[in-house]
Amino acid sequence: MEIAVCCHGVLLAALNMFRGEIFAYPLFLQRKLAASVPGHITFLCSDVACKYFPYLTKVAQQCPELRNLLSMRPFLSVMHAKAHIWKCEIKWGGAFQDGAGSTVGKEVEQVNSFLSRAAITTKYMSKAGRTDMLTLLALGWNKRKVEQLGRSLSQRYLKIIRILREQVESLNVTKNELGVDDDTLQQWVADVQKWAEDSNKRRHRIRKVILDEKKRLAAAVDDYNKLAEPTKQIVSSDALMQTDIWPWQSTSEPAADLQTKRKVFEKVMAVRRLREEEMILCREMLHHWTVLRMRSVVLGTISSDSSLVGMSEDAQKGLCSLVLK
């Protein structure tokens, strides 16, 4: 079973898998969620977002009805990104995506861990029984998540404030050790991002062309030496390129310098994400408090208003849901 979960851990959609993990499954869930809440999904998190989004781009070129899915931004889960190469982590990793806050991207694993307890019993059930059991577990999980949302938001906010203070202090210590200012830090961040955009495939193609051109140059030098006088002959083709330095052979920026820039880059990005998370949590807590206050007002009005006393229970529930929406 493959599921889609929001950043608060609420299960949104699920499907039965009849094959292995193929891209068609997340594509189906993505299209379903995009249709239910159009324009409200900013990021699509996946453990293989760096592979899935190129696939989605190719599919959208052939299927115009799927082009709206490209408005979602790729989010490579933070923990899985550590197993990818540096460039992939910097380009796709959720920790370096503007607007993502401090989301880890492992909320799906929490729901899977909860639902896995039903694996022992549901495998002996019929298809209908298994579906009903998993549905009840999912509803119970979502109910607890919604009821505990206020507490989890407040606890998360206090935790983020503490971690943000520690990260800012760590960044200031690094700045003092390196003797750089804020402008230099921002330039280093831009340098690392530009370095990550350089494609390994493009570099491989360039190296292949250079190798072919070197062979042609060596053959031309041999032909020239056969016709030229001994005093005017060229020693070798390598002597003609002693002053040429290819971009990836440059020694002006040693590996240690790149390591330092990447270390600073990670600290700067950590502070940015934590500040974003602080703003996100403030907005969500305000929205949650507003919804709870509206609910209390509506329920109080229904219980006290004599004109609603004669209404049926279903009509009162319908009125409450209409107002809360």
Per-residue pLDDT averaged across 168-179, rounded?
Answer: 91
pLDDT of residue 276: 93
- Is position 86 within any domain? no
pLDDT of residue 242: 57
Q: Which residues, in sequence order, are CB contacts of 278 under 8 Å at separation 6+?
A: 157, 160, 161, 164
- Is position 200 within any domain? yes
pLDDT of residue 251: 43
- Is position 186 within any domain? no
- Is position 24 within any domain? no
Q: For residue 242, what are the domain limits?
A: 196-249
The predicted-structure confidence for 98-142, as pLDDT tens digits, reads as follows 999 988 888 999 999 999 988 888 888 998 999 899 999 999 999
Per-residue pLDDT averaged across 76-101, rounded?
Answer: 89
CA-based nearest residue to 264, from 180, 189, 173: 189
Count of positions (residues) in the chain: 325
Task: Looking at mean pLDDT, say which of 71-80, 257-266, 303-312 comes out highest.
Answer: 71-80
| Residue 245 backbone phi and psi in degrees, to 5 | -125, 120
- Is position 191 within any domain? no
pLDDT of residue 72: 92
- Is position 104 within any domain? no
- Is position 180 within any domain? no
Q: Which residues, in sequence order, are CB contacts of 79 under 8 Å at separation 6+?
A: 104, 105, 106
Number of domains in the chain: 1
The predicted model scores a pTM of 0.71
Kindly give the interhelix angle for 149-178 and 127-147, rounded to the nearest 10 degrees.
70
Q: In the predicted model, is pLDDT for residue 282 greater than 50?
A: yes
- Is position 110 within any domain? no
* One-letter amino acid for residue 107 of the chain: E
